[in-house]
Amino acid sequence: MFNKLSSERKSSSVMKQILEAIEEERLKESDKLPNEPELAKQFGVSRSVVREAMSGLVAMGVVKRVPGNGTFVQQREKSFAPMVAESASFWEHLQGAGSTDAYIARLIIEPVIWEYAAGRIEPKNLRSLKTIFKKMQNAIRENDHNGYRELDTAFHLELAKSSGNQVLFEILKNFINLTGLDRFDIGKIWPSNSISINRSLDDHRELLQMLESGTPQEVRRKLEAHLRAAFWEYGSKNIYSD
């Protein structure tokens, strides 16, 4: 099913081939993947490379591990955009800067930061987040998608800052910088009249509501879903601008 690899970023290449197999329906929802030794043989890599790749796919919600049974293709959440083979440009951009690791790390760690911050957030922090959110609404009305992207980042960083933990804030800032999302062609992620940007805004509205009245665990789960949906939005389009 898979091709042997020769690239330096082997774990990322393993992930990319599995993603493409899912998109092309060679792997379907609930299908069981071969075990690690078999995958290592098919890809021509070590088991540690396969293990690293699978950990990344688990973090992104693409597959799930069932102890004692194996690893299975996850059912896609309704909010996920369809994945297509042209997602190669996304992966090549991340791999080129060594930022695949940063992107996966953000998927793993930012929800934990949000859960921690949600239990400590103060009214002044909520006011700051609401101010940013209003600016995000205005950016959409004015069709200013580059402005929206900057405000989206500011929203996430402001929440991390609300935790009162400067180390967590710096960690998230580094993740965002390393993924290099500022170099993506925003018009291809959110073209005019696209539902994607409105879905993003709705997610931030819901996150704000949860920060006010939900539990930290609910905030974490919602943020996980939001980041995974964002992965499919980015990964499903040719978005890197040369």
Say if residue 237's pLDDT is above 80. Answer: no
Cα torsion 144, 148, 150, 153 to 10°: value is -170
Indicate the CATH number for domain 85-235: 1.20.120.530
Give the pLDDT score at 90.
Answer: 45
Indicate the CATH number for domain 10-73: 1.10.10.10
pLDDT band at 235 (very low <50, low <70, confident <90, very high): very low
Say if residue 169's pLDDT is above 70. Answer: yes
pLDDT band at 24 (very low <50, low <70, confident <90, very high): confident
What's the mean pLDDT when you consider all of the chain?
79
- The pLDDT tens digits for 61-74 are 788 889 889 999 98
Give long-range contacts, CB 8 A cutoff, 24+ apart: 203-211.
203/79, 203/229, 204/133, 204/136, 204/152, 204/155, 205/133, 208/126, 208/129, 208/130, 208/133, 210/118, 211/118, 211/121, 211/126, 211/129, 211/159
Q: Rounded to two decimals, what is the model's pTM?
A: 0.64
70: left (phi over 0), alpha (psi -120 to 50) or beta: left
Domain definitions of the chain by residue range: 10-73, 85-235
